[in-house]
Amino acid sequence: MAKKAPTERTRRISEQIRRDVSILIQRELRDPRIGMVTIQDVQLTPDYAHAKLYFTVMGAEPELVQKALNEAAGFLRNALFKMLQIHTVPTLHFAYDNTEAKAADLSLLITQANASRAADFEEDSVDDATQK
pLDDT (0 to 100) of residue 12: 93
CA separation for the pair 90, 118 (Å, rounded):
52
Q: What percent of the chain has pLDDT over 70?
A: 89
C-alpha–C-alpha distance, residues 47 and 55, integer Å: 22
35-83 pLDDT tens trace: 899 999 999 999 999 999 999 998 889 999 999 999 999 999 999 999 8
Do residues 40 and 60 both lie within one domain? yes
- My answer on whether 13 and 75 are in the same domain is yes
Whether residue 59 is found in the same domain as residue 36: yes
Query: Do 58 and 46 reside in the same domain of the chain?
Result: yes
CATH number of the domain enclosing 18: 3.30.300.20
Residues 125 and 88 in one domain: no
Instruction: Characterize 36-72 residue by residue with b for buried, 16 or more Cβ atoms within 10 angstroms of its Cβ, and e for exposed.
Output: ebebeebebeeebeebebbbbbeeeebeebbebbeeb
Spatial separation of the C-alpha atoms in residues 114 and 4, rounded to whole Å: 39
Residues 75 and 14 in one domain: yes
- Residue 3 sits in the same domain as residue 50: yes
Angstrom CA distances, 119 to 83, 110, 114, 116, stand at 59, 14, 9, 5
Number of residues that this document lists for the chain? 132
Indicate the number of domains in the chain.
2
pLDDT tens digits, one per residue of 20-30: 999 999 999 98
Rounded to an integer, the average pLDDT of 6-15 is 90
Q: Mention every residue, 6+ apart, whose C-beta is less than 8 A from residue 28.
A: 75, 76, 79
69 and 32 together in one domain: yes
